[in-house]
Chain A
């Protein structure tokens, strides 16, 4: 062991205090980023990638059809009208699919929203690729106005065969007060 002081008590105290400070830092610089990385990599919690997917040219798997269900939820206190244009689609793995979600801000003031996606079953999250999504960005809306928000996605050909239905759920949050502070990831 390295001796930091001739006095063994001070030596022990300095080492232990370093461990304590190190563990405090560990929470912020290791645990939080590691959790995000693991969730993204493994699709834990149904988290899908926050980045647009660049499609790989591959054949469309015509042999099976996957049912995609869309769910939209407003976070508590979020006044927007928000919902999918169709609640269900049947798609082939590998095919590029388009749909839109409707949003309307009924209040007189402009607001900014952020939609957070989640895929169920969570195992399917890594096979659900979004090439274009309104959830990648903040969605501003003027007061008393509506917008159509596009979504383009591909279900991976490697999707395990036992998964026949995938539910894509969006929760929409009011981030008007937060934007300008810390940008959403």
Chain B
């Protein structure tokens, strides 16, 4: 056997053929940021059109393509791959493994993603336009009335489903088989735990999504009638299948965010995480409950009252483990030696805003009142509080927290804090007024609206432009750090940080833990 201690290959082949978890993690993170900018650009077009009532910039058909692509790109292109990238970078370093369990498959799961999204974006230039049926692609909008590009869309969903399944199998195989000796399950950092559970959710529900789009494909091209009433099918069946995937998907997005926050808050509170065991059990409970609450997305389809009640109570039950988590984070901070560096600011922003999103979620869970909120801007406000202030804020916190470890340079703290405050203000200005217009009756996914919603919509649009612009600052800060940030070689960049990733040199070398680290059996989880 030759020399194993080689560095990265040179040039483009380093990235094309790499099997190194850090390289692949980096590619995932950059790709997801590119998608974040693309999806953000779509959002800017939406908000520009909604700046004033009446039709100004785009025609309604194009507007619908924008809302559809914004949702698809943000969910499948930005948020999910960003957390997979973080998992690739951090999980081996957190459990003392030299790499992921299946490095070659890892390369594949990343490299099939960019072509899939290139194809999806190319539908914008096709005859009939891009998919315009909303990110939930309800039949028959996505079958009988769909543009021809729906077939490309189905192919894209298949490819990115495959990527997610391969990625999650890899994560499970890594966590189950490659932990350093002494790293028992209940000693794993919480980020590893939340990802392990997320990966199981992905393996269980991505095939369901693949099944749904396969049925659409068959209805469109092969004469079946899964979702067509004329042939004995039922469009409502589509909604059941979609949300059987879709609700666990919501937790696929948010659980890794919970993990990130559970790493960062203890570090800047200089206290161990409060209630580690209960955090693990709460995560598992949320994952289990996610499978039995899907129909709360479809209270208005005409379910029997028993169904409405079951899904209502089951949904409300989720507030219990989620509440456990929120109180644990607050208890971690209680009497801690708190400092407020950028990662901590983003985590606290997460804590406040995600809790608001959780409360509006509880409001939506109440079947009788949901009839008013259903398909209104209230729903839009709710899920942006959990998706953006939940997932995106925590992802941003993660980048600031681990960036010095990744590249051996400190980011500019003032710029980071500025980024946080502009994001925080811009985000709330965008989405808080949407609660009000939603309750007052403004429906979602419309290019024009009644005059009484004009002021709040203008506020929303201004907020969206501010939030969008603040991400350019983020990009600049990250690039400036990599190129010319203040070098640091401290292993523990943050004095309160705990965990194996802080025991390797800074910047993290290309290969880490080729010999497993020693885990102190007395040492609690990190």
Contact = CB atoms under 8 A, between A and B. Distances in A.
B201 to A, nearest CB: 11
Interface in A46-74: 46-47, 50
Given A122-B302, A122-B304, A185-B232, A27 B212 contact: yes
| Residues of A contacting B: mostly | helix
A46 B207 contact: no
17 contacts: A12-B169, A12-B172, A13-B169, A16-B169, A17-B169, A20-B165, A23-B204, A23-B208, A24-B208, A27-B207, A27-B208, A28-B215, A36-B234, A39-B234, A44-B304, A114-B231, A174-B230
A42 interface: yes
Contacts of A31: 208, 211, 240-241, 244
A64 B101 CA distance: 72
Contacts of A45: 234, 236, 301-302
B207 A175 contact: no
Contacts, number: 107
A32 B226 CA distance: 8
A8 B229 contact: no
A59 B216 CA distance: 48
Given A27-B211, A35-B237, A182 B176 contact: no
Interface size grouping (class) on chain A: 35 or more
Contacts of A12: 101, 169, 172-173, 176-177
A135 to B, nearest CB: 11
B215 to A, nearest CB: 8
Interface of B: 101-102, 165, 168-169, 172-173, 176-177, 203-208, 210-212, 215, 223-226, 229-232, 234, 236-237, 240-241, 244, 301-304, 307
B359 to A, nearest CB: 31
B241 A27 contact: yes
A75 B168 CA distance: 44
Contacts of A114: 230-231
Interface in A112-141: 114, 116, 122-123
Nearest to B230: A173
A182 B225 contact: yes
Interface string A173-185: 1110010011011
Nearest to B231: A184
A130 B519 CA distance: 72
A6 interface: no
Nearest to B140: A76
Contacts of A2: none
Given A8-B177, A45-B236, 17 more contacts: A9-B101, A16-B172, A20-B207, A23-B207, A24-B210, A35-B234, A35-B237, A44-B304, A44-B307, A50-B232, A75-B230, A114-B230, A114-B231, A182-B225, A184-B231, A185-B231, A185-B232
A178 B231 contact: yes
A173 B211 contact: no
B273 to A, nearest CB: 28
Most buried by B among A36, A114, A184: A184
